[in-house]
A and B are shown apart, each in its own frame.
Chain A
Amino acid sequence: EVQLVESGGGLVKPGGSLRLSCEVSGLTFSVAWMSWVRQAPGKGLEWVGRIKSKSDGGTTDYAAPVKGRFTISRDDSKNTLYLQMNSLATEDTAVYYCTTDGYCSGISCYSGVDWGQGTLVTVSS
């Protein structure tokens, strides 16, 4: 069974930074493509970004609202995914979910095959 456990959420002031972690088990993490998806309170889902496996280049892609402020990375030795968030703004307040990508065809996969329970990030003064 695939399990994803996020941690690191909390309250941060505007302009501050936070790093989220996602520990993954139940799959071969090193070959997995992984994504972060967020959900503002009472709102819909928003894709944040993705990291490919190192064997597929290890490249990252980001949604426009977070590009240049957020960085996704991975430590395959620890089966852990990270989301470094800098220059946080109130509109970044959301539950952040770690997800696996899958059901791939061509050069792309779906984001959101397996999900963690989410971690809440609140940006407020």
Chain B
Amino acid sequence: EVVLTQSPATLSLSPGERATLSCRASQSVSIYLAWFQQKPGQAPRLLIYDASNRATGIPPRFSGSGSGTDFTLTISSLEPEDFAVYYCQQRSNWFTFGGGTRVEIK
């Protein structure tokens, strides 16, 4: 099983700041990594697929990078609605999710 480790567990930032979230895989997943956003009481929403492609309707302040075992989700300038929990998911070897990073208001 591919284990995805997300860091940090919690990120405390202010609106307008840049957020950088990390996802590390226990073995190479090539580019087959996605990022999801989940707000309290809501279903997750797909943001990024294939490491760097934005899903339909996702604003350009969200970007992804990486390949192999190390991936990054960057939010260039945090909007109030971006404070949420973010999960990575790999589909290279079945499906697994990371444990999540909470982005909270500082």
Contacts and interface: CB of A to CB of B under 8 A. Distances in A.
A108 to B, nearest CB: 5
A114 B99 CA distance: 20
A118 B24 CA distance: 28
Nearest to B97: A45
Contact of A46 (B34, B91, B97): B97
Contact of A115 (B44, B87, B100): B44
Contacts of A44: 87, 97-100
B100 A111 contact: no
A115 B45 contact: yes
B39 to A, nearest CB: 12
Interface residues of B, number: 23
Contacts of A111: 89, 91, 95
Interface in A13-55: 35, 44-47, 50
B97 A110 contact: no
A61 B43 CA distance: 22
B46 A113 contact: yes
Interface residues of A, number: 22
A110 B34 contact: yes
A82 interface: no
Interface of B: 1, 32, 34, 36, 38, 43-46, 49-50, 53, 55, 87, 89, 91, 94-100
26 contacts: A35-B95, A44-B98, A44-B100, A45-B38, A45-B87, A45-B97, A45-B100, A46-B97, A47-B89, A47-B96, A47-B97, A63-B94, A64-B1, A97-B43, A97-B44, A103-B49, A103-B55, A109-B91, A110-B91, A111-B89, A112-B36, A112-B44, A112-B46, A113-B46, A115-B44, A116-B43
- 8 nearest A-B residue pairs (beta carbon): A115-B43, A47-B95, A45-B97, A103-B49, A44-B100, A111-B95, A110-B34, A44-B99
